[in-house]
Structure 1
Amino acid sequence: MSDTKKTTPVNQRGRDGHRLKRMRDQGLKPPIAHPQPDEDQKAESDFALDCGWGRLVFAQTFNSPDALAGALREEKADRRDIALYVRDPHVLLASAPQEIFLDPSHTYRLDLAGYRPSKRTPKGYFIRRLTSQQDAIAINRIYASRAMVQVPPEFFWSKRDARAIIYFVAEDERTGQIIGTVTGVDHARAFNDGERGSSLWCLAVDPQARHPGIGEALVRRLAEYYAARGASFLDLSVLHDNEQAIALYEKLGFQRVPFFSVKRKNSINERLFTRPETDEGLNPYAAIIVKEARRRGIQVDIMDAGGGFFRLTHGGVSIRCRESLSELTSAVAMSICDDKATTRRIVEQAGVTVPPQVSGDAGNDAISAFLVEHGSVVVKPARGEQGRGISIGLTTEEEVAAAVAEAKTVSNDVLIEAMIEGQDLRLVVINYRLVAAAIRRPPIIVGDGRSTAAELIAAQSRRRAAATGGESEIPVDAETRRTLAAAGYSLKSVIPADQEVMVRRTANLHTGGTIHDVTEEVHPVLIEAAVKAARAIDIPVTGIDLMVKSPHEADYAFIEANERPGLANHEPQPTVERFIDLLFPLSMPESVRQAMRRTGI
């Protein structure tokens, strides 16, 4: 958008008449009348709108590059201001080359007069406006999961009835959980924009949401909201390499327009204006640690990006790591975790509750007796990770025999364990203190009445892979087929609309499971068991898996200990920060030191 334009009332009325007719033909509601700028109303000058995460600085309201650069200098700490609709970005950059940079994003515009709403309605969730402070907290949770700048919850709440800014959320009909959000800005109400524009910001979907099309539904709801209020267009800014988002916007009719945005060179924007690091091959679990180390000024040397190996050096100390596994974890502790039977014996001796277990080589009579005693069992390799070779809920000798044979393809030693019903709880213990706790849930598909189970699984796998950097996908194997069969379906079955079907009983993230933070509500007995297990193994960083009735109750059974827990799975809990604190205590921020002194840690 360039300078604010004026339109004669006669011409404007003619255009509005044609526009209203088009909207009625397309099934859209007529615009709700509200005051619009006219020849006597000029756009506010030097206007910036506070959005909580930073300000939108509307460049077309500034008369000089120096004034615009000065506005960007007023950016607050830990916030990200954006100057948009910059007319002459080269001139603006020349006025402050050390402070600002040209944002590598494209601007897209949707002509609301030609927009056609979808005839399909969301299934399993609905879109509504923000209505409570709990909504605000949920939005921040989604922002954190997407590495976006968070907003003080009270800011969201203070703007719930604002004229210039609006928040929509997507709510799961069954759980009531907020699974997506989008922010809209009305330019006319914000600064008397003569072009009657609007813009879309902060579109974010919970990476673990199981419903398809949430992002599209949020965009459409915002477009229809502004179309009904007489806005001419809806603009948005998207990073040039965000192919998935760009494909969605172009599908909805957005077209690229030649407008530019400028930002300040701050730590939040650093990856946008500095040359790419040479660690693009790192997986998310290694990359998040490397990022925190660099933020603290710790030297990072990538040893093998594909394997997640790197060396951290600070204050004369050098430590090699593979993701969250460091040289501080002894070979003995690692070997204990590597053998699930040994892990079980060690933690049981320390007083941790473990489920009954028998070896897969115990013989047919012993296995048959174990199955009769417990009714349902779990078969898993004694060695292995990422959920490979695990079969759950087996009730017949034939199923157990087949599962043992499959598990032996992963490890020669196989364990048969009593099936403990409940929820899968992961507790991350660092330096023998709980840092994060989360319930892990098995992957679920939601039917649409048209797609087969195989097609729904493939779509869900694509979403999980996109949300986790390729780390989470649902394998189509014997366990998946068995779980589907238990629900009365096969891979070729068309799942009825809105029908939820569990496709694996294991909740491992690498096989499509999802994770839900419960750190603030986990029962003290469960925390005590996790810390006790970590001390028994003598391991400074570990993920302890328990099967629990509820994270709020004391009942549990120990499942296993992971010597290399994925710290990237537990945002917004400070798992990575505490990991770096353990490795390099002198790099700990003073605010953390003070907090630890206050709590006596």
Structure 2
Amino acid sequence: MAKDHNGSKSGSDARGRQASEAYARRLRRMREHGLKPAIAWHGNDAEQMKADFVLDCGWGRLVFAQTFENSAAMVIALRGEKPDRRDIAVYVRNPHVMLANAPQELFLDPSHTYRLDLSRYRASRRAPKGFFIRRLTSQSDAEAINRIYVSRSMIPVAPEFFWSRRDARKICYFVAEDDLTGEVLGTVTGIDHMQAFQDPEHGSSLWCLAVDPTARHAGIGEALVRRLAEYFIVRGAAFLDLSVLHDNKQAIALYEKLGFQRVSFFSVKRKNQINELLFTGPETNGALNPYARIIVNEARRRGIDVEIVDAETGYFRLNHGGRTILCRESLSEMTSAVAMSICDDKAITRRVVSSAGVRVPRQIAGATRPQEIAEFVKCCGQIVVKPNRGEQGRGITVGLSEQKDIERAIADARKVSDTVLLEEFVAGEDLRLVVINFRVVAAAVRRPPVVVGDGEHTIRQLIAAQSRRRMAATGGESRIPLDGETERTLAGAGFGLDDVLPAETELTVRKTANLHTGGTIHDVTDTVDPTLVEAAVTAARAIDIPVTGIDFIVKSPQLPDYAFIEANERPGLANHEPQPTAERFIDLLFPLSLPVAVRQSWRKEDEALRP
């Protein structure tokens, strides 16, 4: 007879009776809705429950505490955790007893357990708009799931693991797919406890709910949770459980909205590198923005001492092996004042990189006479007005041809910089290449913010909702301004802020793709054309800057055509997952923190590249 968390036989019998009664109620509800269960109840199955059950989920293993006879056995199971994986002991009723067995190895996970009684579940009357939910069906689905995991700082899984288990009954995977593009927008994993270990309670659990931070559609997370709940109702499950960090207010609000309630189960994890922030206490760098925090976290992982100089502006000092370097986000003492001044003046940047053979668009500086502006517009067709100095897309207006619009844009740009540039408008996508130590570490297409209509809300309301999602996904760094540029872009498409956007209509609300003004980032590092990589490195060497973000306008990241736009001396290293931007930055600053084998490999690579 399998025992419960407290080693009590009577506890299993009681759970069996409770599960039987719950299953009877569920059968009545399913018959009312014309549903047929996929499995049948066979009475009290406690005798059949597997002992010491551990389930491999790819990112780590789930150790189901209710199948273990004592805490010591669970500790032994957790000690089998593999490198770069996160094992979790779940449904632990007496965590204090378990922790007493290995206080130096284990910690109590600061997460709540929530349960949805599937006999009381109420389906939504509204179908998803702009996307649909389906099962994982291909290797590309598995790769897309990993992309979303990495963007959410979750542990990726070998794609073959997903694919080999696509028909498994213990684990199921659902994805949300965009109706138009076919892009995977979100994912959720479910565990069938009956199939896994003959659970007498007929339970199920939800894991790895994740939505692409660049997704434009609302309600993706809710739709995935509902699809999983309905899947397990048909399979005869009594409840759906999940674990959520105690401070994840957005997720908790969603679960409580759907009817989940807190239950008194706990999770225990190992003290490993992945879990470090969960057991070391509150972060001392919480006031830093994401661009500074990603670097500070990587430094601390390597044992580099960090001193926060001014959190509000992103200044910190790193100390390691007798070397001290002051940084402001990705700008460090290794970037010279000359290189920084070149990047700060866009007209000079253009001349420097152009002389090195990098292709640049036509440009004039300080033009104010209407005739001069008219001649330049006639030559270029459409132009871009931008301040000579500035960052984060402030004061930039794109795609102008009318004199009155140009004059207004010049006035806006002058609020940022005294000198205003008029530049040839080049159609295409905005490509950012992060160059560190004269190597391209990451390449990403930056796309302007887009909202999708639902036929009910105004564009102003849709922008506000999209801004909330972008802020949540970027640590508060990305939002769509309701300013003159947004209104001009909407007017060009025939809309105003207070118009109701027709259902399923996609509308670009700004022409600039900067992250800070609501743009989204899409990694293309593995597919970017070598010509673009070479041009970015050439531009970085011309400026002689060790860390920079090179911006091109391209027809496609997979084609060699480009036009140089600007170089950023303090590129944001966050939001480029899965590329190791922070790791390569710390490598540059403190090469001795790298393993010897890696340093030797890099040295050989440098020697091979020398003429």
TM-score bracket for this pair, using the shorter chain length? over 0.9
The alignment status of 1:455 with 2:461, answered yes or no, reads yes
Q: How does 1:283-322 map to 2 (within 5 A)?
A: 283-322=289-328
User: Could you tell me how far 1:16 is from its partner in structure 2?
Assistant: 4.0
Aligned to 1:19: 26
1-structure distance, mates of 2:15, 2:339: 78
2-structure distance, mates of 1:50, 1:335: 53
The alignment status of 1:421 with 2:427, answered yes or no, reads yes
- From 87, 93, 107, the equivalent of 1:87 is 93
Q: How does 1:164-183 map to 2 (within 5 A)?
A: 164-183=170-189
2-structure distance, mates of 1:479, 1:540: 34
Structure 2 CA distance for partners of 1:528 and 1:9, relative to 1, 3 Å = closer
User: Could you tell me how far 1:8 is from its partner in structure 2?
Assistant: 11
Query: Would the aligned equivalents of 2:433 and 2:549 in 1 still touch at CA under 8 Å?
Result: yes
1-structure distance, mates of 2:509, 2:34: 40
Aligned to 2:355: 349
SS, match of residue 444 in structure 2: strand
Deviation by residue 1:509-560 (Cα, 9 ceiling, x = unmatched): 0000001111111111111111111111110000000001111111111100
The alignment status of 1:211 with 2:217, answered yes or no, reads yes
Query: Would the aligned equivalents of 2:458 and 2:501 in 1 still touch at CA under 8 Å?
Result: yes
Aligned to 1:126: 132
The alignment status of 1:370 with 2:370, answered yes or no, reads no
Query: Would the aligned equivalents of 2:367 and 2:422 in 1 still touch at CA under 8 Å?
Result: no
Structure 2 CA distance for partners of 1:22 and 1:342, relative to 1, 3 Å = same
User: Could you tell me how far 1:42 is from its partner in structure 2?
Assistant: 2.1
The alignment status of 1:282 with 2:291, answered yes or no, reads no
Aligned to 1:111: 117
Deviation by residue 1:285-338 (Cα, 9 ceiling, x = unmatched): 000100111111111111011111001111111111000000000011111111
Query: Would the aligned equivalents of 2:26 and 2:238 in 1 still touch at CA under 8 Å?
Result: no
Identity of aligned residues (%): 67
Deviation by residue 1:263-282 (Cα, 9 ceiling, x = unmatched): 11111111111122321101
SS, match of residue 181 in structure 1: strand
- From 538, 551, 554, the equivalent of 1:532 is 538
Unpaired runs of 5+ in structure 1? none
Structure 2 CA distance for partners of 1:530 and 1:8, relative to 1, 3 Å = closer
Structure 2 CA distance for partners of 1:436 and 1:494, relative to 1, 3 Å = same
Unpaired runs of 5+ in structure 2? none
Deviation by residue 1:125-152 (Cα, 9 ceiling, x = unmatched): 1111111111111111111111111111
Query: Would the aligned equivalents of 1:360 and 1:404 in 2 still touch at CA under 8 Å?
Result: no
Aligned to 2:595: 589
Amino acid at match of 2:456: R
Structure 2 CA distance for partners of 1:364 and 1:294, relative to 1, 3 Å = same
Deviation by residue 1:197-254 (Cα, 9 ceiling, x = unmatched): 0000010111111111111011001000001110000000000000000000000000
Aligned to 2:563: 557
2-structure distance, mates of 1:195, 1:405: 69
Structure 2 CA distance for partners of 1:16 and 1:365, relative to 1, 3 Å = same
How many pairs align? 600
SS, match of residue 575 in structure 2: helix
Query: Would the aligned equivalents of 2:330 and 2:573 in 1 still touch at CA under 8 Å?
Result: yes
Q: Which moved more, 1:41-50 or 1:228-237?
A: 41-50
User: Could you tell me how far 1:35 is from its partner in structure 2?
Assistant: 7.0
Aligned to 1:269: 275
Amino acid at match of 1:266: N
Amino acid at match of 1:589: P
Amino acid at match of 1:229: R
1-structure distance, mates of 2:21, 2:310: 65
- From 474, 487, 497, the equivalent of 2:493 is 487
SS, match of residue 221 in structure 1: helix
2-structure distance, mates of 1:246, 1:587: 39
Aligned to 1:72: 78
User: Could you tell me how far 1:24 is from its partner in structure 2?
Assistant: 4.2
User: Could you tell me how far 1:494 is from its partner in structure 2?
Assistant: 0.1
Deviation by residue 1:568-596 (Cα, 9 ceiling, x = unmatched): 12111111111111111111134533653
Structure 2 CA distance for partners of 1:112 and 1:418, relative to 1, 3 Å = same
Amino acid at match of 2:178: D
Structure 2 CA distance for partners of 1:88 and 1:7, relative to 1, 3 Å = closer
2-structure distance, mates of 1:44, 1:20: 25
Structure 2 CA distance for partners of 1:16 and 1:80, relative to 1, 3 Å = closer
Aligned to 2:160: 154
SS, match of residue 272 in structure 2: coil
* TM-score, with length taken from structure 2: 0.95
The alignment status of 1:393 with 2:382, answered yes or no, reads no
2-structure distance, mates of 1:586, 1:28: 66
Query: Would the aligned equivalents of 1:110 and 1:255 in 2 still touch at CA under 8 Å?
Result: yes
User: Could you tell me how far 1:78 is from its partner in structure 2?
Assistant: 1.0
2-structure distance, mates of 1:192, 1:319: 57
Structure 2 CA distance for partners of 1:464 and 1:40, relative to 1, 3 Å = closer
Aligned to 1:543: 549
The alignment status of 1:324 with 2:330, answered yes or no, reads yes
2-structure distance, mates of 1:594, 1:38: 62
Aligned to 1:99: 105
The alignment status of 1:5 with 2:27, answered yes or no, reads no
Query: Would the aligned equivalents of 1:7 and 1:39 in 2 still touch at CA under 8 Å?
Result: no
2-structure distance, mates of 1:438, 1:445: 21
1-structure distance, mates of 2:220, 2:441: 31
Q: Which moved more, 1:343-352 or 1:357-366?
A: 357-366
